[in-house]
């Protein structure tokens, strides 16, 4: 599964999930924007940073690292990126590091170089398999938990989350957008199935045909695409605005990798008539 794309989309769409992992209230999400940040004059790009929209409020920055494979140099790279960013942004009010693992087995062994930081309140290590029962967690974190759910039980869990998404919200994210997130996770888990088979498996085939669902989904997806474009390229100019409509014609599983990995020039060339 392309976990980087899934997590980026989760936190971009619903930054309240990341705040909940950090022990903060998801209601603070409207004051933040999740984006990737390039560190000037280095080869580093931090893919997951939750930045305050209004820096005058002196809110902390959250640096997020998602690690689903063994990397002995992970903390060397992560802390180098964090402190390079802070050196270039000396007016940063405060910071918090969040490192997400599926389980403890992928964490590098203890090192005297970083252990005091890891044991401090500045860094949180999240092990998804230790967060608790998916049915008892807040909705946003439950959707994130679906990423590590075994294939045998994932469809049942996904249907339960879809039902919850029609009753609950995640920091103002609409029900259709949450349902699309859930469906996208299942698409990545069952790559051998068609979109139609996935919709039937999740009981979405009838729901997705309703006009109310389609209109709400279209508006929600537009906001996601525009936010992702801003996160990577800054404020939208005429050329970027022109590619939003063509991108909306694609399912999230197709447009997300494009938005995350294609350059500005490549996107404009591909989607401009």
Considering the domain boundaries, does residue 98 fall inside one? yes
**Portion of the chain with pLDDT greater than 90, in percent:** 38
Answer yes or no: is pLDDT of 46 > 90.
no
State residue 23's pLDDT score. 87
**Portion of the chain with pLDDT greater than 70, in percent:** 93
Q: Indicate the pTM of the whole model.
A: 0.76
Considering the domain boundaries, does residue 51 fall inside one? yes
Considering the domain boundaries, does residue 116 fall inside one? yes
Q: Are strands 95-101 and 61-66 parallel, antiparallel or unpaired?
A: parallel
Residues 6+ apart with CB under 8 A from 76: 113, 114
Considering the domain boundaries, does residue 226 fall inside one? no
Count up the domains in the chain and report the number. Answer: 1
Considering the domain boundaries, does residue 186 fall inside one? no
Q: Are strands 45-52 and 61-66 parallel, antiparallel or unpaired?
A: antiparallel
> How would you classify residue 234: left for phi > 0, otherwise alpha for psi between -120 and 50, otherwise beta?
left
Averaged confidence pLDDT in the chain = 86
Answer yes or no: is pLDDT of 128 > 90.
yes
Considering the domain boundaries, does residue 17 fall inside one? yes
Considering the domain boundaries, does residue 262 fall inside one? no
Q: What is the CATH number of the domain that holds 106?
A: 3.40.1350
Q: What is the pLDDT of residues 130-185, one digit of tens each?
A: 998 888 899 999 999 999 999 999 999 999 999 998 888 787 788 888 888 898 89
Considering the domain boundaries, does residue 221 fall inside one? no
Q: What is the pLDDT of residues 218-249, one digit of tens each?
A: 777 787 788 778 877 878 899 999 998 888 88
Distances (CA, A) of 247 to 242, 243, 252, 254, 270: 10, 6, 9, 9, 10
Range of the domain at 120: 1-130
Sheet holding 32-38, edge to edge: 32-38, 45-52, 61-66, 95-101, 123-127
Question: What is the band of 187 on the pLDDT scale with cuts at 50, 70, 90?
Answer: confident
Average pLDDT over residues 3-29: 84
State residue 43's pLDDT score. 61
């Amino acid at each position: 599964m392309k976990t980087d794309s899934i997590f980026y989309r989760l936190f971009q769409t619903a930054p309240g999930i990341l705040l909940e992992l950090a022990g903060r209230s998801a209601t603070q999400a409207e004051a933040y924007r999740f984006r990737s940040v390039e560190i000037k004059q280095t080869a580093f790009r931090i893919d997951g940073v939750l930045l305050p929209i209004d820096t005058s409020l002196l809110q902390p920055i959250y640096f997020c690292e998602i690690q689903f494979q063994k990397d002995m140099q992970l903390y060397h790279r992560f802390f180098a990126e964090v402190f390079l960013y802070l050196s270039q942004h000396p007016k940063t009010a405060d910071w918090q590091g969040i490192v997400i693992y599926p389980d403890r087995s992928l964490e590098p062994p203890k090192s005297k170089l970083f252990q005091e930081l890891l044991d401090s309140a500045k860094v949180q290590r999240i092990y998804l398999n230790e967060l608790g029962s998916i049915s008892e967690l807040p909705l946003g974190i439950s959707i994130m938990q679906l990423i590590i759910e075994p294939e045998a039980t994932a469809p049942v869990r996904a249907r339960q989350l879809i039902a919850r998404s029609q009753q609950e919200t995640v920091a103002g994210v609409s029900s259709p957008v949450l349902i699309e997130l859930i469906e996208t996770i299942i698409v990545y888990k069952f790559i051998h199935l068609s979109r139609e088979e996935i919709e039937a498996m999740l009981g979405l085939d009838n729901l997705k045909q309703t006009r109310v669902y389609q209109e709400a989904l279209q508006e929600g997806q537009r906001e996601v695409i525009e936010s992702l474009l801003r996160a990577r390229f800054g404020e939208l100019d005429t050329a970027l605005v022109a590619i939003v409509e063509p991108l909306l014609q694609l399912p999230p599983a197709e447009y997300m990798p494009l938005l995350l990995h294609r350059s500005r020039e490549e996107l404009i060339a591909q989607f401009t008539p």
